[in-house]
């Protein structure tokens, strides 16, 4: 079932310039989240996996330097505020649209992070928010959404059930639909994260290079134009559910040397993006109870056009539930960060997916890659974590 209101004409071009404009618009409302590194995780990513776990005679030997974008430290604990604030700020640019929205409010469907994000953005602008959430949504996400003043309506867990409930709300309230991912303003807002990553990592690499340089190392008389361009990320992996973040980050890297990849859980066919990408046909329904609950949705039509049709995403990879849990444990034990399972799917690809790791080894050689990984959110309950790591 399609969303009950037509997709709006993009208020900004779906390009890198459009992402840059979005960044200026939402700057007052979001945090510039930190980039962290971890020597242990970079070492593990650069260490061949045991042959017994890979099923191949010679496991890949990539060299990976990992850079983590900590959107778990963003407002509401997830990257979703970027798109939500951008969508609402764009509505304000049309007096007629905004006048209607002020009285009728906004509506969406979400398992939790977009729900909280739109609730906060609506509260900040003093407008009503109506949120459809699956009844199996995590309790902390439901409580936080209500805490930001939103009205919550429950539905089934599939996208079809969510959208049916949204249609009823739109008919009853006249509220403006702000979908969680299949919306041009959402995509542009999420893409602002990619711009930050590229700039932050370039600055950190430049600072490290400068610290390693002593007087006399550089020949005198070097012209500024002869200097090599500053290094930044060779690639970025983001989790992929509906594809809003992945397509937005892909737009932010358009025209640069940085490649973008998507990461998904494979449990119960949650890797619809990967299967669609390599078959050439978008898969429109997903029904999975993967522990990566934020990635239980199919890739939307607009993200698909960026990811696949424009070929701005270089590849898609998937990982198992056990690999997601192993990556999650490493982040808790080695980085001391609170992240949700969806947030570590990209790290799991870098650590355990032999297809990805072999590709890096083949294409990067001894130089290796500086790889950006997005920790997309940190909204997880202690009870859920206890269940994940409970001894059998």
**Residues labelled as active-site residues:** 80, 111
| Residue 354 near residue 54, CB atoms below 8 Å | yes
Nearest to 68 by CA among 49, 91, 45, 50: 45
- The strand pairing partners of 187, in sequence order, are none
Tell me, letter by letter, the H, E, C secondary structure of the chain.
CCCCCCCCCCCCCCCHHHHHHHHHHHHHHCCCCCEECCHHHHHHHCCCCCHHHHCCCCCCCCCEEEEEEEHHHCHHHECCHHHHHHHHHHHCCCHHHHHHHHHHCEEEECCCHHHHHHHHHHHHHCCCEEEEEECCCCHHHHHHHHHCCCEEEEECCCHHHHHHHHHHHHHHHCCEECCCCCCHHHHHHHHHHHHHHHHHHHHHHHHHHHHHCCCCCCCCCCCHHHCCCCCCCCEEEEECCCCHHHHHHHHHCCCCCCEEEEEEECHHHCCHHHHHHHHCCCCCCCCCCCCCHHHCCCCCHHHHHHHHHCCCCCEEEEECHHHHHHHHHHHHHHHCCCCCHHHHHHHHHHHHCHHHHHHHHHHHHHHCEEEEEEECECCCCHHHHHHHCCCC
Nearest to 114 by CA among 81, 139, 89: 81
- CA 272 – CA 275 distance, rounded (Å): 5
């Amino acid at each position: 079932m399609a969303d009950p209101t037509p997709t709006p004409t993009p208020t900004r071009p779906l390009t890198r310039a459009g992402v840059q404009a979005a960044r200026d618009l939402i700057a007052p409302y979001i945090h510039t989240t930190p980039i962290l590194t971890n020597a242990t995780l970079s070492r593990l990513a650069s260490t061949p996996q045991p042959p017994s776990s890979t099923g191949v005679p010679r496991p890949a030997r990539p060299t990976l330097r990992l850079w983590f974008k900590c959107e778990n430290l963003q407002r509401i604990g997830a990257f979703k505020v970027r798109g939500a604030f951008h969508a609402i700020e764009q509505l304000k640019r049309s007096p007629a649209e905004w006048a209607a929205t002020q009285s009728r409010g906004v509506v969406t469907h979400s398992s939790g992070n977009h729900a909280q994000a739109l609730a906060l953005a609506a509260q900040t602008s003093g407008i009503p928010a109506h949120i459809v959430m699956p009844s199996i949504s995590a309790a902390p996400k439901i409580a936080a959404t209500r805490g930001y003043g939103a009205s919550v309506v429950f539905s089934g867990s599939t996208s079809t059930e969510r959208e049916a409930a949204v249609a009823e709300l739109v008919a009853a309230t006249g509220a403006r639909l702000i979908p969680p991912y299949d919306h041009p303003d959402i995509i542009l807002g999420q893409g602002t994260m990619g711009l930050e990553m590229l700039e932050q990592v370039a600055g950190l690499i430049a600072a490290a290079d400068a610290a390693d340089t002593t007087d006399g190392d550089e020949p005198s008389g070097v012209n500024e134009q002869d200097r090599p361009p500053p290094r930044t990320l060779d690639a970025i992996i983001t989790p992929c559910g509906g594809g809003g973040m992945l397509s937005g980050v892909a737009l932010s890297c358009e025209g640069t040397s940085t490649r973008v990849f998507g990461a998904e859980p494979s449990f119960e066919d949650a890797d619809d993006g990967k299967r669609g990408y390599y078959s050439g046909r978008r898969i429109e329904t997903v029904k999975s109870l993967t522990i990566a609950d934020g990635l239980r949705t199919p890739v939307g039509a607009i993200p698909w056009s960026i990811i696949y049709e424009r070929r701005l995403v270089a590849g898609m990879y998937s990982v198992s539930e056990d690999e997601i849990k192993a990556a999650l444990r490493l982040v808790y034990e080695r980085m001391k960060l609170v992240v949700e399972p969806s947030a570590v799917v990209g790290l799991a690809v870098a650590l355990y997916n032999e297809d990805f790791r072999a590709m890096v080894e083949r294409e990067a050689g001894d130089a290796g890659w500086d790889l950006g990984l997005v920790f997309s959110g940190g909204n997880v309950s202690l009870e859920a974590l206890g269940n994940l790591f409970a001894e059998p």
